[in-house]
Amino acid sequence: MKRIALLFISVIVLASASGMGAAPRDTKKQKFEKPDMEKIREEVNDPSSKYYYPLLMKNFETNDTLLDLDQYRHLYLGYVFQEDYNPYRKSEHTNKVEDLYYKDKHTPAECDTIIKYAELSLKDDPFDLRQMSFLIYAYREKQKNNLANIWQYKLNHILEAIVSTGTGLDEENAWIVINPQHEYNLLNFKNYIAKSQEYKPPHYDYITVNQEDSKDPKGFYFNVLYILQEYYRKFPDSK
């Protein structure tokens, strides 16, 4: 798992290639806006809205780099209101090349294989940030930098959309995520290393992190309300 974690972090460090730097660690200095989820639900399901979900997703899939942060917030958060949303779904393609993720170097053919299965996985789950990072890595190794930059832009903006939902410093200002794995992806983005995770009722995850100095937070809160709501609505037998 160490090699996989380092690969994800190395991709995040390349954020400047897309015109957006890595997220600063000092959460208090960042701007955030707590999302109105009911308003987002209405907007992404309204065909006359500029946030109509099929339109946003079409632009996302056609590599439109003009989508702004507000559109990415609707794209990311609005996904929970789509019928194909399942926060615990895992593509059958994600484990096809698991052994390659542990290697330090990859041949061009191996990079082609990583690209193939990452693309297939992202068709199943467009917000699989782990597969997105592998795709970026493989494109860079193949010197397909334009494609790598486009996907880096997508990855950075999805992570920024999460960061924009709160400070993560308490339950009231918890970051909203639509997939539990995104909690760890975001902490990597902000250069933190997770130590432990605890579920705090009614709908929060709390992850402690390594502190470089006493000013660093001991941990961060994530709001998983919408993950739980939609999962149990669609899979009531799982309760």
Q: What is the pLDDT of residues 100-121, one digit of tens each?
A: 888 888 999 999 999 999 999 9
Within-domain flag for 146: yes
Domain span at residue 14? 2-168
Within-domain flag for 55: yes
Is 140 in a helix, a strand, or coil? helix
Name the domain count of the chain. Answer: 1
pLDDT at 94: 78
Please identify every stretch of the chain with a pLDDT value under 50, giving residue numbers as ranges: 1-6, 8-24
Write the DSSP assignment of 60-94 as a string of letters: HHTT-TT--HHHHHHHHHGGGGSTT--TT---TTT
pLDDT at 14: 43
Within-domain flag for 84: yes
pLDDT at 30: 59
pLDDT at 9: 44
pLDDT at 68: 93
CA distances for 157 relative to 77, 139, 143, 229, 236, angstroms: 13, 19, 22, 25, 33
Residues 189 and 25: their CA atoms lie apart, in Å, by 9
Q: Hey, what are 59's tokens?
A: 């632009």
